[in-house]
A and B are shown apart, each in its own frame.
Chain A
C-alpha cells in the first residue's frame, strides 16, 4: 500500500515539486496545506502516515506548525525540510519531536530513505527499552555493594504501588542523547540516613550532608548506567544531568510523557526504588 503523504509548504511551486518526486515512488500525496490552521484540519481529516514540513513559512513557521500538529496528535511523523542544515536547527527539531530532517533541494533517494527510516521499527530504541532498566539496576547494585558494603536483592516488580508516592527523598536525573529519559531514585529518610552512615562510616552531620550523599549516589548510578549502555551501543550517546532532589512530605510522582520501568531493591539499610524511562524524540537524521 502506498505511504500517505501530507505536504505542508506555503509555496505552490515547492508543493508541486515534492508531489512530483513522490510520484516516482510508492507514495500518495493525499493532502496539502499552507498554514497552521489548514495543516491541523487536513491532518485530522486525512490522517497521513508522513507530513513533510517546510521551515520557512509566513505567519507560523514550520516549528510552530509542527508543535501544533504534535499537540493535536503526539504520534504524527513529521519530516522537516530546510535549505539550511545547521546543528542548532537540527537540535531544535529534535527537541520539538520532529521525526526526520531533509535538506533542500530534495533528492528523491534521500527523501525516500528518511521516510523509510521514520516508518521502520527502531531497533536501537527497542533494545534500550528492553535493557535500559537492567543497566541501572546493575549500577545501583555495584555501587551499594561497593560503597555501603551491603548485598542487594530486587523485589518483584508487581510489588510497587501505582501511582508511586515518594517515601521521603527523591533524586531525579534527566538523560539526553539519541533518546531522552529520566532516572528516579527514591528512598525513605531513614534508609538515606542508614546508607549515609554506612558510606561515611559516621552519622551525617545534618540533613544537608545526608542529601548530598544521596544526590552523589544517584549521580554515580545514573552516570555509570549510561556509560555502560553507551559502551554497548555507541550511537546512544547518553548524557546525564546532575540530580534535582525532592524531599519532605508525601509527593506523588508522575511521568506523563514517558513510561517509567520500575524496580524495588532490598538492602540492609532499607528499600531503594529505582525508576527509568526513555522517550523517542526525533531520532532519524540524515
Chain B
C-alpha cells in the first residue's frame, strides 16, 4: 500500500476538526503495520466501498473520547458515555470519513462511499484485524488530545 493513501484522510481531519471545535491537528507519528493491531477505550469503524475499499478506524482512550465529545457539544461536561456523547463521537467519524472521500476524489479516486460508523468500547486491550495486508497507523494530537487513526484501504 502506498503510504500517500493517508494524505486525503489527514487532510479531512485537518479540515473537519476545526468545524467541530478542535483547532489544532498535529501528526506526531506514523507507522506501517500488518493487518493486526490493538486498541483500548473507544473505537470507531467506518467501512469504505468503491474503487478502493477497506476501513478507516479512529481510536481513543476513554478520557480523550470524553474530551472530544465535550468539545463537539460546545464545552458541555461529559462524564459518561450516554447516547448524546456516543452520537457526537460517531458523527465526528462520519464527518471525517465523508470528507476523506471528497479529498480522494480530488486525486481522481472517485465514487467512494462510506458506511455508518459502528462504535466499540472496551476497558481492556482488544485486537483488530483488517481485511487488508497493511495498515497505516497515525498518532494525532488534536488540541492536545491523543487520537489514533488506522487506515486499511486497498
Contact = CB atoms under 8 A, between A and B. Distances in A.
A67 B19 contact: yes
Interface stretch (A23-31, A39-47, A115-123, A173-181): A173-181
Contacts of B112: 91
Given A95-B98, A174-B48, A241-B54, A248 B113 contact: no
A73 to B, nearest CB: 13
B38 A248 contact: yes
A174 B114 contact: yes
The bracket for how many chain A residues form the interface is: 35 or more
A175 B53 CA distance: 12
A241 B80 CA distance: 32
Contacts, number: 157
B86 A95 contact: no
B70 to A, nearest CB: 15
B47 A248 contact: no
Interface in A87-116: 87-88, 91-92, 94-96
A256 B86 contact: yes
Q: Which of A180, A242, A279 has the most CB of B within 10 A?
A: A242
The bracket for how many chain B residues form the interface is: 35 or more
Contact of A244 (B87, B98, B130): B130
A87 B51 CA distance: 15
Contact of B53 (A92, A241, A254): A241
A241 B115 contact: yes
Nearest to B87: A256
B75 interface: no
A246 B130 CA distance: 9
A242 B54 CA distance: 6
Nearest to B84: A256
Nearest to A277: B116
Interface string A33-65: 000000000000000000000000000000010
B33 interface: no
A93 to B, nearest CB: 10
Contacts of A158: none
Contacts of B83: 256
Nearest to B115: A174
Contacts of B128: 244-247
A252 interface: yes
A252 B122 CA distance: 6
Closest 6 CB pairs of A and B: A174-B47, A174-B115, A242-B131, A241-B47, A248-B126, A95-B98
12 contacts: A64-B19, A94-B113, A95-B101, A95-B114, A180-B115, A182-B116, A244-B55, A247-B126, A248-B124, A253-B118, A253-B119, A257-B87
Interface of A: 64, 67-68, 71, 87-88, 91-92, 94-96, 166, 170, 172-177, 180-182, 184, 211, 215, 239-258, 277, 279
Interface of B: 19-20, 38, 43, 45-50, 53-55, 57, 83, 86-87, 89-91, 94-95, 98, 101-102, 105, 110-122, 124-132, 152
Given A215-B131, A246-B120, 15 more contacts: A91-B110, A172-B45, A174-B45, A184-B118, A215-B129, A241-B49, A244-B45, A244-B129, A244-B131, A245-B128, A248-B38, A250-B122, A253-B119, A254-B118, A256-B90
